[in-house]
Structure 1
Amino acid sequence: DVSTSMGGGIARFDGCAVEWTVLYDEFICVLEGRYKMKAGGEMFEGGPGDVFWIPAHTPLVYMGDKATVFYTVWPVDWRKRHGME
Structure 2
Amino acid sequence: MSGVLKVTSDDDLEWYRRYDQDLLLADAIDQRHDAAMTVGFVRYGAGESNPWTVSYDEALIVTKGRYSVESDGVVVTAGVGEVIYLRAGTELVYRAEEECEVVYVSYPHWMAATEQSPYKDRLAEFQPVAG
TM-score, normalising length: structure 1: 0.88
Q: What one-letter code is carried by the residue in structure 1 that aligns with 2:39? A: G
Q: Percent of aligned pairs with the same residue?
A: 31
| Mapping of residues 5-84 of structure 1, within 5 Å | 5-14=36-45, 15-64=47-96, 65-76=98-109, 77-82=112-117, 84=120
Q: If each structure's strand is expressed as a fraction of its own residues, which one has the higher value?
A: 1
In structure 2, C-alpha distance between the alignment counterparts of 1:80 and 1:60, rounded to whole Å:
18
Does the CA contact (< 8 Å) of 2:54 and 2:114 recur in 1?
no
User: What RMSD in Å do the two structures reach over aligned CA positions?
Assistant: 1.8
In structure 2, C-alpha distance between the alignment counterparts of 1:37 and 1:23, rounded to whole Å:
15
Q: Which protein shows a greater Rg?
A: 2
Q: Is the alpha carbon distance of 1:34 and 1:23 closer, same or farther for their aligned partners in structure 2, counting shifts above 3 Å? A: same
| SS of residue paired to 1:23 | coil
Q: Is the alpha carbon distance of 1:52 and 1:3 closer, same or farther for their aligned partners in structure 2, counting shifts above 3 Å? A: farther
Structure 1 residue 80 displacement after superposition: 4.4
Greater relative contact order: 1 or 2 (C-alpha under 8 angstroms, separation 6 or more)?
1
Q: If each structure's helix is expressed as a fraction of its own residues, which one has the higher value?
A: 2
| SS of residue paired to 2:65 | strand
| SS of residue paired to 2:89 | coil
Q: What one-letter code is carried by the residue in structure 1 that aligns with 2:55? A: L
1:15-48 superposed Cα distances (whole Å, 9 cap, x missing partner): 2110000011001000010111101210111110
In structure 2, C-alpha distance between the alignment counterparts of 1:40 and 1:80, rounded to whole Å:
24
Q: What one-letter code is carried by the residue in structure 2 that aligns with 1:73? A: S
In structure 2, C-alpha distance between the alignment counterparts of 1:60 and 1:71, rounded to whole Å:
15
Question: Which runs of 5 or more residues in structure 1 are unaligned?
Answer: none
TM-score, normalising length: structure 2: 0.59
Structure 1 consecutive aligned stretches of length 4 or more whose deviation exceeds 4 Å: none
